[in-house]
Amino acid sequence: MKEDFYDILGVSKGASAAEIKKAYRKKAIEFHPDKNPGDTKAEEMFKKAAEAYEVLSDPDKKAKYDQFGHAAFEGGAGFGGGGMNMDDIFSQFGDIFGSAFGGGFSGFGGFGGGQRRAKGSNLRIRVKLTLEEVANGVEKKVKVRRKVQAEGVTYKTCATCNGTGQVTKIANTILGRMQTATTCTTCGGAGQSIDKRPSGADAQGLEVAEETVSIKIPPGVEDGMQLKVSGKGNEAPGNGMPGDLLVAIETAEHDTLKREGDNLHYDLYISFSEAVLGSSKEIDAVGGKVRIKLEPGIQSGKILRLRGKGISSLNGYGSGDLLVHVNVWTPKELNKEQKEFFERMQSDENFTPKPEKSDKSFFEKVKDMFS
């Protein structure tokens, strides 16, 4: 006994088209294979929801279903009990729930004109990088569980569709003669069917295997970027192409360095006496420690630019700079002796501000940085 389509989506018979779409989107996201890897029950629910939505979102089919129930689609037209295949779901409805996952499956590659070649589904992972890894580039080894063709599996041209991946069905239903072209359910659209299926393999001759994939991440990537490792997604049955491994980049905040494009900013705090007498300071940059020299009489707000000590540019041309912002720390408390000293200096000419042309104002510096 087939489950009621309204029950599957959890809506009432009087639900509007918008309510049905919303309910389907919710179910599709809940049972999405990316969120439930290897869970056959979730996959079943995902397919059922798509099948229900396929009918209830089409006013014509919905009217027939409302009147005749599942009987309206028996006899070969529509689904004929075979259900929808994953590629059909993603190509038809991917845009409804796909945004939650950053795109749907790839579906078919479309090689060689008429002959369609199945493509395995993509896999998605996240990789979190430190600022140092972003700056210098890194090679990450990640464990991926992907579907591969099982050891010893063999395929033959599908007899049902003769390798085309599609079947045309003509059926006499109570509504009249109906002709539909659908994805071949024997081979799932691959054009090939399984010949010898080893134990442990699924209906497509695939089995899940854990594999360590090496991902070369170039320097200069940014948070939210996606890298593609071609061919490291799920394999397809027969001579199909494997899907891709999509790597979403996440970058961690750094304690002391702030990124701005390929440049890095660092706030350096120095004491009043270091500013007056000059000093030498060590900074933890992304490529290791850097020593900088502060001339006697350095002004608070000065920006020292260390060329090439920023992040290597993603396009391969050079590196950004490390901009060291000098902040002079003014003492908040003074002892009697110190206080007397500064009081004496109030009228001293050496302590009177005399900004020169080279001591640019804050606004001029900002302008410089972006020019």
Contacts to Zn ion by CB under 5 A = 158, 160-161, 184, 186-187
Total H helices, total E strands in the chain: 9, 15
Please tell me whether 124 is known to bind a ligand: no
Q: Is 366 annotated as a binding residue?
A: no
All residues at 6 or more sequence positions from 308 whose CB lies less than 8 Å from its CB, including other chains? 318, 319, 320, 321
Closest contact distance (angstroms) between CB of 221 and Zn ion is 42
Amino acid at 96: I
Q: Could you give the dihedral angle defined by the CA atoms of residues 214, 220, 221 and 227, in that order, rounded to the nearest 10 degrees?
A: -40
Task: Determine if residue 49 is labeled as part of a ligand binding site.
Answer: no
Alpha carbons 94 and 152: distance in angstroms, whole number: 34
Cβ closest to Zn ion, residue 184 vs residue 328: 184
CA angle 350, 353, 354 (to 5 degrees): 90
User: Residue holding tokens 């020169």?
Assistant: 356
Shortest approach of Zn ion to residue 150 CB, angstroms? 20
Q: How far apart are CA 353 and CA 346, in angstroms?
A: 11
Provide the 10 A C-beta neighbour count for residue 252: 13
In the bound state with Zn ion, the residue whose beta carbon lies nearer, of 158 and 229, is 158
Shortest reach from residue 189's CB to Zn ion, in Å: 7
* Closer to Zn ion by Cβ: residue 186 or 299: 186
- Across the chain, the runs of DSSP E, i.e. the strands, are 123-129, 138-149, 154-157, 166-173, 176-183, 192-196, 206-217, 226-229, 245-251, 257-260, 263-271, 279-285, 288-294, 303-306, 322-329
Least separation, in Å, of the C-beta of 159 and Zn ion?
A: 8
Residue 184 marked ligand-binding: yes
Nearer to Zn ion, 20 or 158 (CB): 158
H or E element that contains 88: helix 86-97
**Smallest distance, Å, CB 80 to Zn ion?**
14
Cβ distance to Zn ion smaller for residue 57 or 185: 185
Quick one: 55 or 161, whose CB is closer to Zn ion?
Answer: 161
Cα distance between residue 146 and residue 245, in whole Å = 9
Q: Compute the least distance from the CB of residue 157 to Zn ion, in Å.
A: 8
- Which residues line the annotated binding site for Zn(2+)? 158, 161, 184, 187
Q: Detail the residues annotated as belonging to a binding site.
A: 158, 161, 184, 187
